[in-house]
């Protein structure tokens, strides 16, 4: 049995380099807590010398109990011109009081001379001093060899000398970094093997753990990480969902799934792949990025089947078109409702949503209805809530929680002022009619506000619902008489999100349909009961 492969998470440091990703201190602590629960053995919390937020993270982390993880602080080797004990960055690393310090330094001579303005020997001394100082302060030291592979190609002897300098000073892990992310797998493996045999071949060499840290610029980060494991690396650095600068870091979600489900290497965290989908979504939620539907293993579409043949085959033998059982990673097979899919697809999708079609609706009839609506511009692929309502409306005993009787929208812009929109809606709920108006910064925003104001008088729960995303697309209808507009609205209540669709030749009408579905869905799914709450709303009896 080989030594276990330990994952090292740097979502909180390298992951936050991604353009458009920002996290608060609270966010960082939440993610770290979740990674610890997940069993992550190493969590790199940040770069204490670089910004106050990271220093605050370590101050907070000190007082917390970590069940599985050892926290690492990250920083550069000492400055060329300063003594290690006077170096501000090194001091910040020590003050972070983490069990591990991960030092990073140059191993590409061009960077040493061109970027640091140091000589080859000065850089080796900077590595040795910094590792030894952190070690003397009682920390375990991992050493990240920045640009190792590019450096090796430029000057193998110097790159290896850097690795030796860190090892000789006491680093327990030597982490080879493909910082620019451009290495092809065979080249990367060749360099790892050559480096290992040189460094391990030194007489009396102390044992070290080899690590790998790669970026995804050639879209090989996961493949290169797995290949590095096969070449002897036992620490794999990466981020959740592959977040990171440019094209991202190696994605630990896929790495863990691949290692655990498809290889014999023991890996830590172990036995946790069933939580990967949840973990991926949780981190996306905290960093406020939409989960990638097409992310391998954990994306919403990772096991979605659309085509008629795939769909029908999957309905018969679930594994016929998927590489693993999606339940292993906490995901699910999804039959996409689409005009390409036949009635087997439609029936299966309905059943997955908990609806028995037998005796309620003929699957063929439903499939034809879906096809007709899609030919008119709707698409239920990205709008499962509208699809579910479609079935629900067939079921006996269902009465909609409200009816929209009328609505108007006025948009005006006067004398160069800002655009202003006002909407009025008239809704009927259990025999009472309420007429309300609301303003908004655009017609859909105003309609949304007016609808929720009206319905909120009957169903206060709707206050918690909000619009997350609004997408408009022009689609060619089959009739080709007029362009139709498809609107997809994504709504959220707490952690729940759902999507609804509306289509029409008129964008406002399409929006209103999607909006109405969204609110009806929220009320039905939430089991909302009528709770009139506000005496100040005046309603009139419905006209008979």
Question: Minimum distance from CB of 255 to Zn ion (Å)?
Answer: 15
Q: Which residues 6+ apart lie within 8 Å of 258 measured at CB?
A: 222, 226
Q: Which spans of this chain sit near Zn ion (rule: CB under 5 A)?
A: 14
Give the residue among 438, 467, 463, 435 at the shortest CA–CA distance from 450: 438
Q: How far apart are CA 463 and CA 159, in angstroms?
A: 60
Yes or no: say if 486 and 503 are a contact pair by the CB < 8 Å rule: yes
Q: How far apart are CA 390 and CA 394, in angstroms?
A: 7
Question: Minimum distance from CB of 531 to Zn ion (Å)?
Answer: 53
Question: Left (φ > 0), alpha (ψ -120 to 50) or beta: where does 219 sit?
Answer: left
**Closer CB to Zn ion, 74 or 380, in the complex:** 74
**Closer CB to Zn ion, 141 or 212, in the complex:** 212
Question: Minimum distance from CB of 215 to Zn ion (Å)?
Answer: 6
Question: Minimum distance from CB of 469 to Zn ion (Å)?
Answer: 31
**Closer CB to Zn ion, 74 or 387, in the complex:** 74
Give the residue among 37, 26, 108, 104 at the shortest CA–CA distance from 66: 37
DSSP state of 215: B
Question: Left (φ > 0), alpha (ψ -120 to 50) or beta: where does 471 sit?
Answer: beta
Q: Please count the CA atoms within 13 angstroms of the CA of 6 that sit on its side-chain side.
A: 15
Question: Minimum distance from CB of 20 to Zn ion (Å)?
Answer: 17
Beta bridge partners of 100: 72, 140
**Closer CB to Zn ion, 8 or 387, in the complex:** 8
**Closer CB to Zn ion, 246 or 327, in the complex:** 246
Question: Minimum distance from CB of 219 to Zn ion (Å)?
Answer: 16
Question: Minimum distance from CB of 305 to Zn ion (Å)?
Answer: 36
361-379 as b/e: b if 16+ CB within 10 A: bebeebbeebbebbebbbb
**Closer CB to Zn ion, 225 or 518, in the complex:** 225
Phi, psi of 219 (to 5 degrees): 55, 35
Q: Which residues 6+ apart lie within 8 Å of 130 measured at CB?
A: 77, 78, 84, 87, 90, 103, 105, 169
Question: Minimum distance from CB of 21 to Zn ion (Å)?
Answer: 14
Question: Minimum distance from CB of 507 to Zn ion (Å)?
Answer: 44
Residue nearest to Zn ion (CB): 14
**Closer CB to Zn ion, 14 or 339, in the complex:** 14
**Closer CB to Zn ion, 41 or 238, in the complex:** 238
151-170 as b/e: b if 16+ CB within 10 A: bbeebeebbbbbbbbbbbbb
Question: Minimum distance from CB of 480 to Zn ion (Å)?
Answer: 51
Q: How far apart are CA 79 and CA 68, in angstroms?
A: 33
């Amino acid at each position: 049995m080989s030594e276990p492969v330990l994952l090292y998470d740097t979502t909180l440091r390298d992951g936050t380099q991604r353009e458009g990703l920002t996290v608060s201190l609270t966010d960082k602590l939440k993610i770290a807590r979740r990674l610890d629960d997940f069993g992550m053995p190493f969590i790199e919390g940040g770069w204490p010398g670089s910004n106050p937020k990271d220093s605050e993270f370590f101050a907070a982390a000190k007082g917390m109990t970590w069940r599985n993880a050892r926290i690492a602080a990250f920083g550069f080797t000492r400055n060329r011109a300063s003594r290690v004990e006077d170096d501000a960055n090194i001091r910040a690393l020590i003050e972070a009081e983490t069990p591990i310090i991960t030092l990073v330094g140059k191993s590409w001579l061009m960077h040493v001379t061109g970027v640091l303005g140091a000589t080859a020997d000065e850089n080796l001394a900077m590595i040795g001093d910094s590792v030894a100082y952190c070690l003397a302060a009682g920390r375990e030291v991992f050493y990240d060899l920045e640009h190792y592979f590019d450096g090796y190609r430029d000057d193998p002897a110097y790159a290896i000398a850097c690795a030796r300098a860190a090892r000789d000073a006491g680093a327990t892990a030597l982490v080879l970094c493909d910082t620019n992310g451009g290495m092809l797998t065979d080249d990367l493996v060749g360099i790892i093997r050559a480096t290992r045999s040189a460094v391990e071949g030194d007489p009396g060499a102390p044992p070290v753990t080899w690590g790998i840290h790669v970026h995804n610029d050639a879209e090989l980060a996961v493949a290169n990480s797995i290949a590095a494991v096969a070449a002897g690396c036992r620490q794999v650095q990466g981020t959740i969902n592959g977040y990171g600068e440019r094209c991202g870091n190696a994605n630990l979600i896929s790495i863990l799934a691949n290692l655990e489900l498809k290889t014999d290497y023991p890996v830590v965290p172990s036995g946790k792949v069933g939580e990967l989908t949840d973990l991926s979504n949780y981190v996306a939620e905290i960093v406020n990025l939409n989960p990638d539907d097409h992310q391998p293993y954990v994306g919403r579409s990772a096991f979605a089947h659309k085509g008629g043949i795939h769909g029908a085959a999957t309905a018969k033998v679930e594994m016929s078109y998927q590489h693993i059982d999606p339940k292993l990673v906490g995901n699910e097979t999804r039959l996409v409702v689409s005009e390409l899919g036949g009635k087997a697809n439609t029936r299966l999708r309905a059943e997955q949503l908990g609806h028995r079609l037998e005796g309620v609706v003929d699957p063929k009839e439903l499939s034809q209805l879906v096809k007709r609506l899609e030919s008119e511009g709707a698409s239920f692929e990205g709008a499962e809530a509208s699809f579910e309502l479609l079935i629900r409306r067939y079921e006996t005993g269902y009465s909609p929680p409200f009816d929209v009787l009328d609505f108007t929208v006025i948009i005006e812009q006067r004398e160069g002022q800002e655009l202003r929109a006002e909407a009025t809606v008239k809704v009927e709920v259990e025999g009472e009619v309420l007429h309300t108006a609301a303003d908004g910064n655009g017609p859909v925003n105003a309609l949304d506000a007016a609808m929720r104001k009206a319905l909120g008088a009957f169903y206060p729960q709707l206050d918690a619902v909000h619009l997350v995303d609004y997408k408009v697309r022009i689609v060619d209808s089959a009739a080709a008489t007029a362009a139709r507009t498809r609107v997809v609205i994504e709504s959220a209540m707490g952690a729940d999100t759902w999507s609804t669709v509306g289509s029409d030749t008129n964008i406002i009408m399409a929006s209103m349909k999607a909006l109405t579905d969204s609110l009806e869905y929220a009320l039905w799914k939430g089991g909302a009961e009528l709770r009139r709450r506000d005496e100040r709303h005046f309603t009139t009896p419905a006209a008979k």
